Amino acid sequence: MLYFIGLGLGDAQDITVKGLEVVKRAKKVYLEAYTSILTVGKEGLEEFYGRDLILADRDMVEQQSDELFRDAHAEDIAFLVVGDPFGATTHTDLALRARREGIEYKVIHNASIMNAIGCCGLQLYNFGETVSIVFWTDTWSPDSYYDKIASNMRNGLHSLCLLDIKVKEQSIENMMRGRKIYEPPRYMTVSQAASQLIKILERKRESEDQENLAFTEDTVCVGVARVGSDTQQMAAGTLQQLASVDLGGPLHSLVIAGKMHPLELEMLRLIAIETSLFDRLLEQAEKR
């Protein structure tokens, strides 16, 4: 059996009892190592689980899945994923490939940012489509996710923005020369994401009326970092304020708030950069 096991969001102890039992008995245990990270490294997990882990990078998962499937016909193989196993489409593809190989699989779920984001105070059923914000380069600055955020905002829904992770990435030069030299890991911060969104607004103002913008620098947003860990941090404020906030190390996520219920506003006030902003919004909500 091939097991997809979610590790949760915090540290080694967030694995479920059911998942830990499989990890302890499986013949091989692979740790997916490129779509997310925990606050502890591979060594910390190995110490807690009491066994060795095999790092599974992007190349192995996407191009060398035979390595994962080799013994799964006769043995239990565990594939560990930070958060929930199906929080990334890569793992859906892996499940489909396993089934095509005639390999049965089971999923042991866990918390992911998709549901844990409720910790900030915004209600989960008020979220719309999730978007991903990628790092810009000198020659590539996509903004296609703006339209998805705009659709959410028109419907009064919040937008969860997942921020880019660059792990085991090659420079264009090294890729072209076939050199297996990788760039240092990079993790987008809330500040960087907010700054890129403000630059997108500047572009949009050149072609759209101010009234047609999906959001502005004054739109309420929430930044979160290391959700589920002991060092979790959150900050609520305007997009402009979040462009200057420092929430420490990875991983970060950003929420662009849509229409807010007074209870949501009260919760955001607890993590506000400036409480007077939410005092004003609560006063306006009470008058409506």
d(CA 238, CA 250): 21
112 is known to lie in a ligand binding site: yes
Residue 160 assigned to a binding site? no
Residue 227, marked binder: yes
Any known ligand binding at 207?
no
Helix (H) or strand (E) holding 172: helix 172-176
Q: Is 156 flagged in the annotation as binding? A: no
Q: Is 222 annotated as a binding residue?
A: no
Give the list of residues 6+ apart from residue 206 with CB closer than 8 angstroms, or none: none
CA distance to 65, 157, 225, per residue, from 255 (Å): 34, 11, 12
Which run of H or E residues covers position 6?
A: strand 2-6
Q: Contact 239/218 with Cβ under 8 angstroms?
A: yes
Q: How many CB atoms lie within 10 A of CB 98?
A: 21
Q: Is 163 known to sit in a ligand binding site?
A: yes
Q: Is 133 annotated as a binding residue?
A: no
Residue 273, number of CB atoms within 10 A of its CB: 15
Residues comprising the binding site for S-adenosyl-L-methionine? 9, 84, 87, 112-113, 163, 227, 252
Residues comprising the binding site? 9, 84, 87, 112-113, 163, 227, 252
